[in-house]
């Protein structure tokens, strides 16, 4: 009988332990969901990417980039472009895409990942993430952020060409495409009136002639580009840079 009670007591301990584990799992999951909800609802501030910027600075200290390169800066569509250097050759490029950053975040970190490089040109892809979350930006917000980016860059790089790569449509953010397209139109018109500011429209690398999304350019998430997508971006962006940057000193920018 004593053994029976001991067994029942053991079951009680298991039940209590199981309940505790179950409660812990609920707390962890709920916390994760709450964090995820906060992150989606409230787009991250620029400081959120500090660790990535510090990592860039550590890389720069160990291997200082040669001045005079073409600086690609912006969000993850550039960050994930692993073949960028190969695709843009012989143009010397430096990739400083970070996080899932917003357009204003590139401006925020200009002192640390733009000015020190003394780039021959700046290629910016940003504004895509601005349209995400439960409280997304509108077209004019992104436009104003772009003007601020240009203004800040001009304080340290008065004549450096700036190329804005248009916000791409995507499966994941298709509902936001009308606002993105409006932001693109505003930035394009502005670029036409501002010296050394250029707009590269990549929409036809993503959309077919009827304005529908092509189904062969995205990875599984429906947002980021696959190899085919980047190949099409290369075909669109590289000729513009090669034409405009004929005077770039390739030997000096590529380093010894």
The string of DSSP codes covering the chain is -HHHHHHHHHHHHHHHHHHHHHHHHHHHHHHHHHHHHHHHHSPPPGGGGHHHHHHHHHHHHHSPPPTTPEEEEESHHHHT-TTHHHHHTTS-EEEEE-TT--HHHHHHTHHHHTGGG--SEEEEE-SSGGG-SSS---HHHHHHHHHHHHHHHHHH-SS--EEEEPPPP-STTGGGHHHHHHHHHHHHHHHTTSTTEEEE--GGGTB-TTSPBPSSSB-TTSSSB-HHHHHHHHHHHHHHHHHHTTT--HHHHH--
Q: At what angle do helices 177-191 and 139-156 cross, to 10 degrees?
A: 40
Q: Is the pLDDT of residue 225 over 60?
A: yes
Q: Which pLDDT band, with edges at 50, 70 and 90, does 21 fall under?
A: very low
Q: Pairing state of beta strands 70-74 and 162-165?
A: unpaired
Task: Check residue 19 and give its pLDDT.
Answer: 47
Q: Is the pLDDT of residue 122 over 60?
A: yes
**116 domain-assigned:** yes
Domain count, the chain: 1
pTM score above 0.85? no
Residues 217, 210: Cα–Cα separation, whole Å: 16
Task: Check residue 251 and give its pLDDT.
Answer: 58
Reading the block at residue 154, the tokens are: 């001009």
Please state the rounded mean pLDDT for residues 142-163. 98
Q: Is the pLDDT of residue 37 over 80?
A: no
Task: Check residue 135 and give its pLDDT.
Answer: 84
Task: Check residue 7 and give its pLDDT.
Answer: 41
Please state the rounded mean pLDDT for residues 115-127. 98
What is the residue-wise DSSP string for 172-217? TTGGGHHHHHHHHHHHHHHHTTSTTEEEE--GGGTB-TTSPBPSSS
**50 domain-assigned:** yes
Q: Is the pLDDT of residue 248 over 80?
A: no
Q: Which pLDDT band, with edges at 50, 70 and 90, does 159 fall under?
A: very high
Q: Which pLDDT band, with edges at 50, 70 and 90, does 31 fall under?
A: very low
Q: Is the pLDDT of residue 20 over 50?
A: no
Task: Check residue 134 and give its pLDDT.
Answer: 80
pLDDT in tens, 55-107: 999 999 999 999 999 999 999 999 999 999 999 999 999 999 999 999 999 99
**196 domain-assigned:** yes
Residues 81, 38: Cα–Cα separation, whole Å: 28
Task: Check residue 170 and give its pLDDT.
Answer: 97
Residues 98, 231: Cα–Cα separation, whole Å: 21
Candidate ranges 6-15, 41-50, 178-187; pick with highest mean pLDDT: 178-187
Please state the rounded mean pLDDT for residues 179-186. 98
**18 domain-assigned:** no
Q: Which pLDDT band, with edges at 50, 70 and 90, does 246 fall under?
A: confident
Q: What percent of the chain has pLDDT over 70?
A: 80
Mean pLDDT, the chain, integer: 86
| Burial of 67 (C-beta count, 10 Å sphere; 0-12/13-18/19+) | middle
Task: Check residue 252 and give its pLDDT.
Answer: 54
**Angle at the Cα of 193 from the Cα atoms of 100 and 68, rounded to 5 degrees:** 55
**3 domain-assigned:** no
Using the structure block, give the residue that is written with the tokens 């030997």: 251
**9 domain-assigned:** no
- Residue 122: C-alpha distances to residues 50, 62, 100, 138, 206 (Å): 21, 23, 19, 24, 23
Range of the domain at 75: 46-254
- Residue 154: C-alpha distances to residues 158, 194, 240 (Å): 4, 12, 21
Q: Is the pLDDT of residue 161 over 90?
A: yes
**194 domain-assigned:** yes
CATH number of the structural domain spanning residue 65 = 3.40.50.1110
**148 domain-assigned:** yes
Task: Check residue 247 and give its pLDDT.
Answer: 74
């Amino acid at each position: 009988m004593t053994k029976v009670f001991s067994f029942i007591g053991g079951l009680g301990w298991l039940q209590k332990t199981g309940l505790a584990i179950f409660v812990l799992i609920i707390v962890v999951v709920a916390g994760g969901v709450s964090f995820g909800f906060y992150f989606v609802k409230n787009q991250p501030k620029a400081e959120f990417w500090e660790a990535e910027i510090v990592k860039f600075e550590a890389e720069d200290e160990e291997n200082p980039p040669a001045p005079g390169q073409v600086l690609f800066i912006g969000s993850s569509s550039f960050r994930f472009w692993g073949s960028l250097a190969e695709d843009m050759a012989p143009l010397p490029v430096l990739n400083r895409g970070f996080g899932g950053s917003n357009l204003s975040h590139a401006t925020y970190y200009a002192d640390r990942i733009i000015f020190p490089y003394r780039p021959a040109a700046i290629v910016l892809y940003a504004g895509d993430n601005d349209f995400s979350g439960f409280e997304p930006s509108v077209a004019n917000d992104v436009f104003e952020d772009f003007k601020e980016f240009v203004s800040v860059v001009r304080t340290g790089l008065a004549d450096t060409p700036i190329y804005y790569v248009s916000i791409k449509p995507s499966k994941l953010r298709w509902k936001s495409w009308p606002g993105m397209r409006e932001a693109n139109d505003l930035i394009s018109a502005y670029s036409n009136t501002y010296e050394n500011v250029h707009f590269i429209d990549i929409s036809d690398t993503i959309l077919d002639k009827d304005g529908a999304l092509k189904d062969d350019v995205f990875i599984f998430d429906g947002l980021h580009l696959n190899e085919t997508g980047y190949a099409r971006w290369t075909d669109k962006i590289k000729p513009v840079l090669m034409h405009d940057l004929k005077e770039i000193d390739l030997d000096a920018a590529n380093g010894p």
